[in-house]
Amino acid sequence: MEPEPRLTRRDRRRMSTREEILVAARELLLEVGPEALSLRQVARRADFSPAALYTYFSSRDDIVAALFAESFARLDAYLRRVPTDLPLQKRLVELGMAYMDFARDNPMDLRCILAATSQEGLPSSSGTAVGLGAVRLISEPIREAMERGIFGADPLLSPAEMAYGCWALVHGMVSINAIDLTEVADEVSADPRRVLEAFVTLLMSSKPE
């Protein structure tokens, strides 16, 4: 295997500048949303001229796509840490925990994903293709478990709908973890891993006779 070519000083400077622009763009995206984001705003925040910004990004959609890709790439990396040779039940629990670890360690990336996908104005290619890998990592073990009869389910539910339910549970716990529940700890308190394990056990116990 040939060694990767070394980056020149110019290449490193360009990469650093691009990252500075994305940092400014991420701040603005979280403040105003993708619909209101403009290249001129980003240029002002990053202390660049609009003309100089165009040498790095051709449009607002290009910037949003880059932000979305960065955030989903980080999520994808967390999910890929889960060994693929684990039993399906265990892998599903670990994928859920990996998502929660990502959300805890990268709150800005999580907010960026949610901001970009929850509002109109997101380029369709960046809103679907970039996140498809992470979605598949979660949905594939569910699909396989259903096909092998490990998980039971309502026959009217598709694997995609089951994956939706699993992801909703995990993301719901992420959202609740962001709330201070100290005063109601006796009424609302849980260990996310135990909740996920109980959920997977419930899926297994619901197998049709």
CB distance 195 to 173 below 8 Å = yes
Q: How many CA atoms lie within 13 A of 42 on its CB side?
A: 33
Residue 160 has pLDDT above 70, yes or no: yes
* Global pTM exceeds 0.75: yes
Burial class (CB in 10 A: 0-12, 13-18, 19+), 126: buried
Cα 148 to Cα 167: distance, rounded to the nearest angstrom: 21
Cα 78 to Cα 72: distance, rounded to the nearest angstrom: 10
Residue 126 has pLDDT above 90, yes or no: no
Cα 132 to Cα 140: distance, rounded to the nearest angstrom: 12
Q: Phi and psi (nearest 5°) for 164? A: -60, -45
Region 67-78: mean pLDDT is: 89
Whole-number Cα distances in Å, 158 to 57, 88, 172, 201 = 40, 18, 21, 19
Least confident range of 69-83, 114-128, 147-161, 188-202? 114-128
Cα 96 to Cα 169: distance, rounded to the nearest angstrom: 9
CB distance 151 to 142 below 8 Å = yes
Vertex 147 angle, CA 145 and 152, to 5°: 65
**The tokens 């360690």 sit on which residue?**
105
SS3 149: coil
Q: Phi and psi (nearest 5°) for 157? A: -90, 135
Region 52-75: mean pLDDT is: 88
Residue 121 has pLDDT above 50, yes or no: no
Residue 206 has pLDDT above 80, yes or no: no
Domains parsed from the chain with CATH numbers: 9-205 (1.10.357.10)
**What contacts 101, CB < 8 A, 6 or more positions away?**
78
Residue 170 has pLDDT above 50, yes or no: yes
Rounded to the nearest angstrom, the gap between the alpha carbon of residue 83 and the centroid of all alpha carbons in its chain is 19
Q: Please, what is the average pLDDT of the chain? A: 81
pLDDT band (50, 70, 90) for residue 186:
low
**The tokens 């959920």 sit on which residue?**
199
